[in-house]
Structure 1
């Protein structure tokens, strides 16, 4: 039992300590403090064990700190946007639906100079590969959508976030040139404009990344229908299955002539086949569960990667990696944007309608491309209140839909929306349609002239536009659907399935696909 201290000068004494604390006093009746005699009486084996555990603990902490510091130091960063306004809220990288634009740069600067002269591509370069990876909120599926480098698109006004130099909007230019002047953010803004989506992150790799990654995993198996040699890329493969790595892996992804008819679409399918094989190999080898191997891959990748600032931390990259590791390879769908030869240049491509608009609509609605009839994955915002939908007229309309004048004014900034909306109107029975040039506006509305109130209500109901956005307008003859940047509209009722071409998915990561060799480059 402890003793109370003497009263010191009439002041308050220290609080009385409990019995256990009193053991650590100089009171001879209590005895010496127990922990002071621990070392002297500890057996030798226990001393050694304690020292070893301490050394290991310090070593693990130092090892972890070294790798975090090293990997973080590898990362290069760039702005996600080139000046476009963000409308969506903050993203939870661990549980929200996530869209990452994956770019392959053709720059010949620095260590990539062996693949051409500085005149070929310097600075930002062109996006030699452009794929949009869309991870569902429930981490059960991934869509990977490829954009052909020869696709002609309209680019928005872009501002280089480093130099602050402004580049005007352009029409009918190749999509791979979007980042060449104003940087990666301009490529992101261009894809947003084309699809009506809002991309969350980007990753851009260079030629060296492919070589080193393929070496690190020990090669990737690819298949081709016939032996082929492409003198431009120096790809040489025998008929059947081969393991490629290093320069041959890079040649397989870069070749523009070895597959199909020697065009861009054949190359896209080969790239998708390579990534499918890589995903199968990493999963089969247990790489994602092997910390040592993952550190090795992470070191290779981060040395050759530029990512946006929101993704540029090792914990965030680990979070994204963890979301991908358990996804069934059969639910990793590889898709190419539907295209046809361009009207203005048969050597270039333009989006094929209505297939492209159907694809972009399905992506905006988070549809499983491998099974479009499946319900969407759980929303990342379960507490959000549903948007009020217009109520269709209760009785059959006393008019002939085919005779009603309906025009579409596209102020959304997404050119493909015009055809998408017109296709839906036609399906709904409205066939007297027109298009109008329109200035960008924020909110979608349906305007109607005198006597067209019922028609406007039915048009709004068909397109999924809220009744609060159906308005009378004295200057409108008939009904006008004015599309805004909110991208409201073009959403069929809950009972209407999303229409998609039956062959929209080229393959899943679970499919082993043999590429068709270009007949002109087959060797014997």
Structure 2
């Protein structure tokens, strides 16, 4: 027997036979007419189909939610800077030019404890790998610039964003120690200071990430000229091409003595060759077009990754990955900062001038390093590629320093022996008397380079000599100010779109090049 349905007010519902359908018959007890009842029924096949679609839809939503939550929970975040002021406008991660500092940490805790004790890495650890990935606004090219970990640089004052402890600025410190006291943000600030750029994001991975990622993609092909064994890293490879994964992939990237002359530059070239091979592997296997494989890689990467807050969401990471998936591998350029043995310590490196400053200037101008004569790609946002300190404008304000004690060197790269004397006379007449000269390799364009704290002096020197402000450049290896004379007449102006004067061998390789590493003769095995 049916019970009356309760309405929202708590009373009895309408009789079953009442309502519009019941009006088709004079007898309320009969119910609705037959032809109206058929409209209310759903065919069996449609019911089954609807149920299946509903189950699939719920499954897809649940699957997507599971992976979104899992990947998001994997992510570890840290501050992008360590107290430096940001001058650029907010970045559109999907459309703007983007620079990401990629770091490999040598921290020996957790899963990395097998690679040494806690004493092997202090504080936040050192950056075992440091690369700056620069993605163009049109997504047509990528520059990847490696910084040798033995490179001596000036580290700015940094504040640990967790403890708020301040650390004073340091001079002539290995760049891999920049993050050891105040964290990753200090490494970002140091690279900003060195290059004149303003980095948008960072990604830091540890030893374990290399092993897991190489396993996930099924190994990476590498090549070496001779059979080699490096006891420090554990790398053992036969002559020719080998597929490395897991521990051997990590050993290949960590090996410091296995390549070239056993120095850091040989290690950098090997790392770049590994990444080039990894890029080709992912492209040729269609990995980014395979959702299951992409999720596997995303899971591996996010489990072992520390990134800044602006990048720390799954949608943002997917946006960056989507920008990279269709780039021509021949337009992925791998570069190393030009260096020479440091004057203060021949076992360390310092930027080679003018090549290093020319590289940084080309990066600030968003130049295609594989084709420096090409027109720079248009940016969607206003041009903010150059930091204000990197492209100074001559000031009309009276100087507040003593010109007579400012160190100014004239480096003669003009090929004309008498040229420096002309410049020295002009500088002396302008009040600069602390002058020196030196011979230098020939260059085409005259430029003024300055060390930390000498930017105002450099601006005035350039204005006195009629050198365009665009050619006044910071240089970590310069003490004071250096006027590097080129074959052009001082006082001439350079076209805004003029080709950047870069060394012809500035690009080590592109991701499309298959390069075989030269084995260190001291470690070659039979």
**How far, CA to CA, are the matches of 1:352 and 1:168 in structure 2?**
26
Please tell me whether the aligned partners of residues 370 and 507 of structure 2 are also in contact (alpha carbons under 8 angstroms): yes
- Find the counterpart in structure 2 of residue 256 from structure 1: 256
- Whether the 8 Å CA contact 1:464–1:491 is kept in 2: the answer is no
Kindly state the Cα deviation for residue 445 of structure 1 after the two structures are TM-superposed: 9.1
8 Å CA contact 1:153, 1:171 repeated in 2: yes
Confirm or deny that 1:496 pairs with 2:498: yes
Q: Secondary structure at the match of 1:501?
A: coil
Question: How do 1:446-465 and structure 2 match up within 5 A?
Answer: 456=463, 459=466, 461=468, 463=470
Q: Which residue of 2 aligns with 1:28?
A: 23
Cα distance in 1 for partners of 2:323, 2:140 equals 9
Q: Which residue of 2 aligns with 1:508?
A: 510
What secondary structure does 1:112 align onto? helix
Alignment check: 8 A CA contact 1:91 1:200 kept:
yes
Q: Any conservation in 2 of the 1:406–1:434 contact (CA below 8 Å)?
A: no
Is the Cα contact below 8 Å between 1:407 and 1:436 reproduced in 2? no
Q: 1:183 to 1:286 in 2, by over 3 A?
A: same
Partners of 1:110 and 1:100 in 2: how far apart? 26
Closer, same or farther: CA 173–335 of 1 in aligned 2, 3 Å: same
Q: How far apart are residue 198 of structure 1 and its match? A: 0.2
Structure 2: distance between partners of 1:234 and 1:383: 47
| Structure 1 unmatched ranges of 5 or more | 1-23, 391-399, 410-422, 449-454, 466-478, 482-489
Counterpart of 1:189 in structure 2 is 189
Report the Cα offset of residue 40 of structure 1.
Answer: 5.8
1:179 and 2:186 correspond: no
Measured after TM superposition, the shift of residue 45 of structure 1 is: 1.7
2:249 pairs with 1:227? no
Q: In the aligned structure 1, how far is the partner of 2:59 from the partner of 2:234?
A: 46
Q: Which residue of 2 aligns with 1:485?
A: none
Separation (CA, whole Å) in 2 of partners of 1:189 and 1:72: 26
**Aligned counterpart, 1:335:** 335
SS of 1:41's partner is: coil
- Quote the Cα distance in structure 1 between the aligned partners of 2:299 and 2:229: 33
Partner Cα distance (1:33, 1:460) in 2: 97
Instruction: Determine helix, strand or coil for the equivalent of 1:347.
Output: coil
Is residue 2:106 matched to residue 1:106? yes
TM-score (normalised: structure 2): 0.78
**Alpha-carbon offset, residue 143 of structure 1:** 0.2
Deviations 1:245-298 (A, max 9, x none): 000000000011100001100000000000000000000000011111000000
Corresponding residue for residue 426 of structure 2: 404
SS in 1 for 2:514: coil
Q: CA deviation at 1:41?
A: 2.5
Contact kept? 1:144, 1:333, Cα under 8 Å: yes
Shift of 1:381: 2.3
Per-residue deviation at 1:446? 5.0
3-state SS, counterpart of residue 340 of structure 1: strand
Indicate conservation of the 8 Å contact 1:100/1:134, yes or no: yes
Query: Which aligned pairs between 1:55-66 and structure 2 lie closer than 5 A?
Result: 55-66=55-66
Counterpart contact for 1:402–1:429, Cα < 8 Å: no
Instruction: Tell me the SS of whatever aligns to 1:145.
Output: strand
In structure 2, relative to structure 1, the CA distance for the partners of 1:519 and 1:429 (3 Å cut) is: closer
Q: CA RMSD in A?
A: 3.6
Aligned length: 447
